[in-house]
Amino acid sequence: VGKLGFGHLLVGVSHECDVAPEKADMDRMLESGQCVRLTSSEIDPMLMSQDEINSAVAGSLRRGDSLYGILEAEFRAARPTVVLTQALCEVCAPSASQVHVAVDSLESSGLPD
């Protein structure tokens, strides 16, 4: 989004997003409150070993759980009008079904005109 010149339109990003198109831009956007983090993760690569990460991923897949969550209050407060996500890998991001639930709850609460 940032590389396309639309970074100024972002209201929220994932917990992993750190460029818009540059890290300093994203830091500024987050610090100013223009943009907020909208997802969380059970994986913290700074605190977990590779074995712990592998175990968390394998356990999540076995249980059918996502490693990621959508911060619902932040999502509603950001009031996005367009949500960009991916549905190729549930190990890489919140699942498509999680995103659909969040969008549906936003739509049922009413979007601004």
Q: What pLDDT score was predicted for residue 61?
A: 86
pLDDT level of residue 89 (50, 70, 90 thresholds): confident
Nearest by Cα to 74 from 45, 96, 105, 44: 105
Q: Measured between alpha carbons, how far is 59 from 57 in angstroms, rounded to an integer?
A: 5
How large a percentage of the chain has pLDDT more than 90?
A: 42
Q: Does the pLDDT value for residue 21 go beyond 80?
A: no
pLDDT at 92 over 90: no
Average pLDDT over all residues of the chain: 87
Does 70 have pLDDT greater than 90?
A: yes
Give pLDDT tens digits for 32-54. Answer: 999 999 999 988 888 999 999 99
